[in-house]
Amino acid sequence: MVALKSDTSQTRTRQQLLEAAGQVFAEHGYRAATVREICLRAGANVASIHYHFGDKERLYIAVLRYAHERSNEANPDLSRPNDSNSPEEQLKIFVRSFLTQLLERSPLAWDGKLIAREMVEPTSAIDIVIDERMKPLSKRVRDIVRSLLGVNATEDSIRESEFSIVSQCVFYHHCREAILRLYPKFKATGPEIDKLADHITAFSLAGLKAKAQRK
């Protein structure tokens, strides 16, 4: 019984370290983040990071994977696409799910900022982020775009379209504070995300249609 209680306590400490580390890494970046601040926020002693993760670098990698796992749980449509839908519907589902992941306030709200920092200030973990997180999403968007552009679409054209679709979504996350200052009434949450997804989808489909007709 004592051992079971101890195991539960260790699991809780590990969870608290992951959550605290995610916040600190997102706020300061990997290099400027300190183990001391992470442990202080987690209510744990400094030795606990060595016990659970080994060192700061392995903690950072664990945080990235933890965030990815939690994000997939919260956005199943993003991680498990339904290919029985039409390409147009698949695009709409992807855009809505991606926007929800980026914009919804949640206990994991630091995730988007953490990934943005990794893109701007890459660490040794960049390949893990690319391989485990970005490549599957990239492939999904490319497959949708390829279906919409047709069999004669070039890889360059598919890539350009993929970047255009994704960048429309990412803009609302990266420029959030500027948007709120320029348009104080703009609220990208709940029903507004659905409206935004409809706009980006319609805009993208019109662009893809025009692009396909030029071939």
Between CA 49 and CA 115 the distance in angstroms is 22
Q: Residue 77, Cβ neighbours under 10 Å: how many?
A: 15
pTM listed for this prediction: 0.85
| Torsion, CA 205, CA 116, CA 11, CA 13, rounded to 10 | -150
pLDDT (tens digit per residue) in 139-153: 999 999 999 999 899
Residues in Cβ contact with 79 at an 8 Å cutoff, skipping those fewer than 6 apart: 71, 72, 136
Between CA 57 and CA 139 the distance in angstroms is 28
pLDDT (tens digit per residue) in 11-31: 899 999 999 999 999 999 999
Closest listed residue to residue 104, CA positions, set 15, 172, 166, 168: 172
pLDDT value, residue 215: 61
pLDDT value, residue 4: 44
Between CA 109 and CA 174 the distance in angstroms is 13
What DSSP line would sit under 180-195, residue for residue?
HHH-TT---STHHHHH
Give me the residues of the chain with pLDDT under 70, please: 1-6, 105-107, 215
**In the chain, what are the domains?**
2-213 (1.10.357.10)
Tokens of 114: 């953490």
